[in-house]
């Protein structure tokens, strides 16, 4: 039996976390949530690593880009997905040009977009960790 795919969703808006959970409910995933970057880091430190972290850009205390950079440095096999609104686009574009960073999902998104993106990211991540 294949190991369950774990996803951590980080957003300070509970309704966004509920939407993500609902949109991914038909996929075979274990979804964990956190309301801040710090809470997300604490979750990752005390549990097994996850395959994907979905993070909002605007978080209290630390923006999602900095949060996902920390994830990348500590857990390099974990894929990052940044949720961003149009107001943050310029900052995110600049960061993407500097980093090999992550995937971006623009708000508002459709359920099909999120599902397809998560499938692609999970497939890519699981292929990277398989022995050749």
Per domain, the residue ranges of the chain are 5-129
Q: How much is the pTM?
A: 0.86
Residue pLDDT, tens place only, 62-95: 999 889 989 989 998 899 898 887 656 666 666 6
Q: How far, in Å, CA of 89 to CA of 101, rounded?
A: 15
Buried-state track 93-130, b at ≥16 Cβ within 10 A, e below 16: eebeeeeebbbbbeeeeeeeebeebbeebbeebeeeee
User: How sure is the predictor about 6, in pLDDT bands with cuts at 50, 70 and 90?
Assistant: very high
How many beta carbons lie within 10 A of that of residue 63, not counting itself? Answer: 20
CATH of the domain spanning 5-129: 3.40.50.2300
């Amino acid at each position: 039996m294949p190991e369950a795919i774990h996803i951590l969703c980080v957003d300070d808006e509970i309704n966004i976390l509920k939407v993500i959970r609902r949109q991914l409910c038909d996929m075979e995933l274990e979804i964990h949530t956190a309301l801040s970057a710090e809470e997300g880091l604490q979750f990752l430190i005390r549990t097994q690593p996850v395959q994907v972290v979905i993070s909002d850009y605007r978080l209290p205390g630390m923006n999602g880009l900095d949060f996902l950079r920390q994830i990348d440095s500590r857990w390099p096999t974990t894929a990052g997905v940044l949720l961003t609104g149009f107001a943050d686009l310029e900052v995110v574009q600049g960061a993407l040009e500097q980093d090999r960073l992550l995937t971006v999902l623009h708000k508002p998104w459709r359920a099909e977009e999120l599902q397809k993106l998560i499938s692609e990211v999970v497939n890519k991540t699981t292929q990277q960790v398989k022995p050749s």
